[in-house]
Chain A
Amino acid sequence: MKKLKGKRELGLFQAVMIGLGGAIGIEIFVLFNYATYLAGSTIVFALFICGIINLLTMLSFSELGAAIPEVGGEYSYAKAALGGFLAFLTGWLRWVSNAFGAALAALGFAYNISYFVPVDMPLLTPLIASIIIVVLTFLSIRGIRQIGPMIVIAFIAFFVILILGGLLHGLEFKIFYPSTLEGASNVFATTAYTFIMFLGMRAIAAGGSEIKAPGKNIPRAILISAVVLMVLYCSIAYVTVSVLSLDDITKSHIPLTLAAKQIFGETGAIILTIAAIIAALSSLSTAIMVQSSITRALSRDGYLPKFFLSTHRRFKTPHISIIFGSIFYILFAATGVVEFVGYVAGFASILGFALVNLSLIRLRMKMPHLKRPFKIPLYPYVPIAGILVSILLLLFIERSALSLGIVFIILSLLTYHVGMVGYNRIRIAFGGMSLGVGGFVALFAYLLRTGYPLPISIPPHLSAIIFCLLIFICAINILAGVLNIVTKSKR
């Protein structure tokens, strides 16, 4: 099988920069207000727990990344360890998490731009988010360079100055740990919500094929990135909830900017907003790159059509997979609801992390003699703990996000089985569904015509037009159903 491997030219420093560059993105800027709404000042504790849980799985990533240094990250590990549907599901979840992460970055960009251009329009945020996705898609096709190490260092410097400024400003002491059962439950809900703040670190494992001495450098880079992020995020949360009231944080889409304004004045707010905009652009361009890599890996293995592997004639970039992902980013960003997008990204990541831990256990049993330059300590307790905690966190995901997550899993089952049970059977199944939908529309049209009391009210003057429209939709669906059932494909 053809493997997608890159040149090994990145050292430990660059690997850490990849991890921090992937993780220090827009998430801290956009997820903070709702996270504080959930947890109050215990957000500091929630972020600490989040960091620890991420670290558990990052240890598994370290072992797997060093043993299987291939493009594709967790998908490659699951393929080697689990195979079949679970491997496909792991890649699929990574794709979903990445797509919602990209939508979140685009929304974060739009919210921060509104600091400079305060226009009160309900659809302006999704519109700006969609425009920036289109622009970055175009740039990615032309072959945009990823965020450089200097930018990551500049980010860390911004945050350190904010933290030091907050400490000098004088902080009001607040309780940072839960004291009641309800408080503990809120901490877990916040942990599930903020989970994606750390997961960019896995970019190190995903880019394992380009890192020199992967056995040493991948685990070291992951551990260094995890510790830096935990200290940084908890400190930022500590400073922000100390200098601002909880009410101010939860009412604003840009709470960190407000904190910077409180500490350094207008100049501080402007600098932090510019930093947030750069973070959003960085997160979005990284997401486009990672999405394209996952799509190509799934295509290479026959789960998705082969045309995703094709590259642009002039720019040599995978333009079809980039455009494919961007269409979904725009759809998800169009919801304009940060909380929903954040939770769905969290759901996919948490479930994906459970599968990574499962892959590690399975691979140890399946390939005990595989060369493992790094082995996780306290095996099998660490990966088992990773699985259990991931499952626990899923219980705290918001209901509508959980429902959509389950829909994505059903879709993954469907996509996977298209290859397994054959194109024609799936087509016949959809033909049947189309007939059913046609029948349902016909029943609805009949009830509308007979004046039966319906749960929705149709204005009387539009009743005749809607009836005709329903009959047309019914006819199209029935025709489509019949055509799909009777037509035999040449595949």
Chain B
Amino acid sequence: MKGRKLIIGFVGATQEAIGALTIVFSYILYHDLFDVQIWLDISAEHVFFYLLLLFVFGFVSIISGFFLLRELSQ
């Protein structure tokens, strides 16, 4: 039981962190900080498509992680 809780806690926290980092990365991509658009060869017209993908991914990760972390507190 303790091991299961440990796994749930680790996976939930990691998913939260991945989601948060994804949102931060989408911010960096949007503002083209550190020339990231050139670095990844993303044209300005396609930026919004990648932002949408990143938002969906980040959103799903944060919510899914939230459900797991909530499980621990119950």
Binding site for B on A (CB under 8 A): 122-123, 331, 334-336, 400, 407, 427, 430-431, 433-434, 437, 455-459, 473, 476-477, 479-481, 483-484, 487, 489-491
Q: What is the minimal beta-carbon distance from B55 to any residue of chain A, in angstroms? A: 8
Q: What is the minimal beta-carbon distance from A448 to any residue of chain B, in angstroms? A: 13
Interface of chain B, helix or strand or loop or mixed?
helix
7 shortest interchain CB distances as A-B pairs: A457-B41, A434-B64, A456-B40, A427-B67, A430-B64, A433-B60, A479-B11
* A301 CA to B1 CA, complexed, in Å: 36
Q: Which residue of B lies closest to A336 (CB)?
A: B31
* Contact pick for B14, options A122, A123, A476, CB 8 Å: A476
CB neighbors of A among B26-49 (8 A): 27, 30-31, 33, 39-42, 46, 48
In this complex, the member of B8, B11, B57, B65 whose beta carbon has the largest number of chain A beta carbons within 10 angstroms is: B11
Q: What is the minimal beta-carbon distance from A157 to any residue of chain B, in angstroms? A: 39
* Contact pick for A483, options B11, B46, B60, CB 8 Å: B11
Q: What is the minimal beta-carbon distance from B43 to any residue of chain A, in angstroms? A: 10
* Contact pick for A459, options B31, B39, B42, B64, CB 8 Å: B39
Q: Which residue of A lies closest to B49 (CB)?
A: A455
Q: A456-B41, A459-B39, A479-B11 are in contact. Are A434 and B60 (CB under 8 A)?
A: yes
8 contacts between A and B (CB under 8 A): A331-B23, A335-B30, A336-B31, A430-B64, A434-B15, A437-B60, A456-B42, A457-B41
Q: Which residue of B lies closest to A459 (CB)?
A: B39
B42: chain A residues at CB < 8 Å are 456
Q: What is the minimal beta-carbon distance from B36 to any residue of chain A, in angstroms? A: 11
* A487 CA to B27 CA, complexed, in Å: 34
Q: Which residue of B lies closest to A457 (CB)?
A: B41
In this complex, the member of A123, A430, A431, A437 whose beta carbon has the largest number of chain B beta carbons within 10 angstroms is: A430
B12: chain A residues at CB < 8 Å are 480
The reply to whether B40 and A476 contact each other, CB–CB distance below 8 Å, is no
* A256 CA to B71 CA, complexed, in Å: 53
The reply to whether A489 and B71 contact each other, CB–CB distance below 8 Å, is yes
